């Protein structure tokens, strides 16, 4: 991807910068500018490390020849976002002698970012984490906002911490090597921003669907920047999800249950969120909050983006419901869902009756 550099600031108690543009992984001055000490540790996966890890290390060393650099490469895939792999990263940090002023670089997609961000949150009670997202989903969503976590067999992201990154450097030229399925997964989270609070953005996505699927540079850069602006504004106002940040979970209660029930080896996160958003729209309809036209509009757009919109066959609704009872938004008043009054008007709804959820799951 070519094009100009864009920047989004995330304010609040621990402000940081999101830089978006081509060439950032080779930009030694920008990478080294975020270092505090003399230790750097790169976490990546077996797909991404061979393409980019040496380039990042060379770029850092070109500015800081004295830098001590450690590295850990994990197996790729959501099924690897485990406590075991978290422990392996911690072990690698210890063996490499990384000190309190070390900087961990999370080089990869959402799994690497979430897992290694959690390791950065825990190692010596917290070291700097710089997110270097290499997938669209990580660029538009998971690298921003400081949610870090690993999955358990019982549920997605159940163990984690809020640990805002020191910086997010999204090198858009890495998208050239992104498999189409991963591109589409990222587009699901882009659609989410329009669905929750920006109807005109949804119109824009509609108008640029073909360009986005064709990886048009300008369309992708615009989608990434606008998504990051939305996310930055929300996490700045509500960093710890006491209120409006929960809206970013549209489609995730259904989606996480789906990923969990499939053992993290079925639909990927973006695909599960696409299905989940349609189910959330249907739930809203069933509860009398929104109109069928809104559901159809969302469904049609996601289908145009070649994302799934229906539950895969053979899933047990009761098992899905059991996963949802362990969703992090659930409280004493029962299940909480992000529903909408229509396109661009999402809200948190506590105490959602389980029979309504089951009816939606049963179609
Ligand atoms: O940043 C947030 O807040 C989100 O909810 C963004 C989600 O797209 C993302 O998948 C997040 O990791 C889900 O968090 P969780 O709290 O539901 O586990
Ligand atoms: Zn998500």
Residues 76 and 147 in one domain: yes
Q: What percentage of the chain carries pLDDT values higher than 90? A: 98
Pair (170, 231) in one structural domain = no
* Residue 1: inside a domain: no
* Residue to mutate, 141, 195, 257, ligand 1, most ligand atoms under 8 Å from C-beta: 141
Q: Is beta strand 6-10 parallel, antiparallel or unpaired with respect to 346-352?
A: unpaired
- The fraction of the chain above a pLDDT of 70, given in percent, is 99
Is-catalytic flag, 147?
Answer: yes
Ligand 1 atom at minimal distance to the Cα of residue 144: 1
Burial class of 331 by CB neighbour count within 10 A (0 to 12, 13 to 18, 19+) = exposed
Q: Give, in order, the Cα–Cα distances in Å from 247 to each of 44, 192, 323, 335, 353.
A: 29, 9, 20, 15, 19
pLDDT for the residue numbered 1: 54
- Within a domain: 127: yes
Mark whether 21 and 123 lie in a shared domain: yes
Same domain for 107 and 196?
no
pLDDT tens, 261-312? 999 999 999 999 999 999 999 999 999 999 999 999 999 999 999 999 999 9
Among 78, 80, 241, 261, the active-site one is: 241
Cβ of 107 below 6 Å from ligand 1: no
Q: What does the alpha-carbon distance between residue 169 and residue 132 come to, in Å, rounded to a whole number? A: 5
- CATH number, domain at 206? 1.20.1090.10
Ligand 1 atom with the smallest distance to the CA of 256 is 17
230 Cβ inside 6 Å of ligand 1: no
Pocket test for ligand 1, best of 249, 258, 274, 336 (most atoms within 8 A of CB): 249
pLDDT in the model for residue 4: 87
How far does the centroid of ligand 1 lie from the alpha carbon of residue 123, in Å?
Answer: 22
| 158, 177, 196 - which closes a domain | 177
Q: Does the residue 145 lie in any domain?
A: yes
**Can you give the residue range of the structural domain that contains 258?**
183-362
Q: Is the CB of 299 under 6 A from ligand 1?
A: no
For residues 9 and 15, what is the distance between their CA atoms, to the nearest angstrom?
7
Quick check: is 156 in a domain?
yes
Q: Which of 281, 275, 308 is nearest to 296 (CA)?
A: 281
Binding-site positions read 110-114, 134-135, 147, 156, 174-177, 189, 252, 269
Residues 170, 158: Cα–Cα separation, whole Å: 26
Q: Say yes or no: 155 and 210 in one domain.
A: no
248 CA to centre of ligand 2 in angstroms:
8
Binding site for NAD(+), residues?
A: 110-114, 134-135, 147, 156, 174-177
Per the structure, how many domains does the chain have? Answer: 2
Instruction: Quick: pLDDT tens for 158-185.
Output: 999 999 999 999 999 999 989 999 999 9
Say if residue 173 is in the same domain as residue 188.
no
Give the E-state strand segments of the chain in sequence order: 6-10, 16-21, 39-45, 68-74, 103-108, 128-133, 147-152, 155-162, 167-171, 335-340, 346-352
Q: The whole model's pTM is what?
A: 0.97
Q: Any idea what the CATH number is for the domain that residue 52 is in? A: 3.40.50.1970
107-148 tens-digit pLDDT: 999 999 999 999 999 999 999 999 999 999 999 999 999 999
Catalytic residue among 80, 189, 259, 285: 189
Taking the C-alpha atoms of residue 210 and residue 220, their distance in angstroms, rounded to an integer, is 11
256 counts as catalytic: yes
> For 182-238, what is each residue's pLDDT tens digit?
999 999 999 999 999 999 999 999 999 999 999 999 999 999 999 999 999 999 999
Domain presence at residue 250: yes
2 band by pLDDT with thresholds 50, 70 and 90: low
Same domain, 188 and 327: yes
- Residue 19 falls inside a structural domain: yes
Q: Which residue is closest in CA terms to ligand 1's atom 17?
A: 249
Pairing of strands 147-152, 335-340: unpaired
Catalytic-role residue among 249, 268, 328, 336? 249
**Nearest in space to 147 (alpha carbons), one of 238, 82, 226:** 238
Q: Is the CB of 327 under 6 A from ligand 1?
A: no
Largest CA distance in the chain: 63
208 is catalytic: no
Query: Considering the chain, what is the average pLDDT of its residues?
Result: 97
């Amino acid at each position: 991807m070519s094009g100009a550099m864009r920047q989004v600031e995330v304010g609040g108690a621990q402000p940081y910068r999101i830089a978006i543009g081509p060439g950032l992984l080779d930009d030694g001055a920008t990478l080294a500018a975020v270092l505090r000490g003399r230790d750097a540790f790169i976490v990546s996966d077996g797909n991404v490390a061979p393409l980019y890890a040496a380039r990042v290390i060379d770029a850092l060393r070109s500015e800081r020849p004295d830098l001590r650099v450690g590295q850990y490469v994990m197996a790729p895939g959501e099924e690897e976002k485990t406590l075991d792999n978290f422990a392996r990263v911690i072990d690698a940090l210890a063996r490499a002698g990384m000190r309190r002023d070390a900087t961990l670089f999370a080089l990869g997609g959402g799994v690497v970012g979430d897992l290694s961000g959690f390791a950065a949150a825990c190692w010596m009670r917290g070291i700097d984490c710089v997110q270097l997202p290499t997938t669209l989903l990580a660029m538009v969503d998971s690298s921003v906002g400081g949610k870090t976590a690993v999955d358990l067999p019982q549920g997605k992201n159940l163990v984690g911490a809020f640990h805002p990154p020191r910086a997010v450097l999204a090198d858009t030229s890495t998208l050239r090597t992104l498999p189409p399925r991963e591109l589409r997964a990222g587009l699901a989270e882009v659609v989410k921003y329009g669905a929750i609070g920006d109807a005109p953005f949804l119109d824009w996505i509609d108008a640029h669907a073909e360009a986005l699927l064709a990886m048009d540079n300008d369309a992708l850069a615009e989608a990434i920047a606008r998504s990051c602006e939305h996310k930055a504004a929300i996490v700045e106002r509500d960093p710890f999800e006491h209120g409006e940040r929960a809206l970013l979970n549209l489609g995730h209660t259904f989606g996480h249950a789906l990923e969990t029930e499939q053992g993290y080896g079925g639909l990927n996160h973006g695909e599960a969120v696409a299905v989940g958003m349609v189910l959330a729209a249907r739930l809203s309809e069933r509860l009398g909050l929104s109109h069928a036209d809104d559901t159809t509009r969302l469904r049609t757009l996601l289908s145009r983006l070649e994302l799934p919109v229906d539950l895969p066959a053979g899933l047990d609704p009761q098992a899905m419901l059991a996963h949802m009872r362990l969703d992090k938004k659930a409280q004493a008043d029962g299940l909480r869902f992000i529903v909408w009054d229509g396109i661009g008007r999402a809200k948190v709804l506590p105490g959602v009756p389980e029979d309504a959820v089951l009816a939606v799951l049963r179609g």
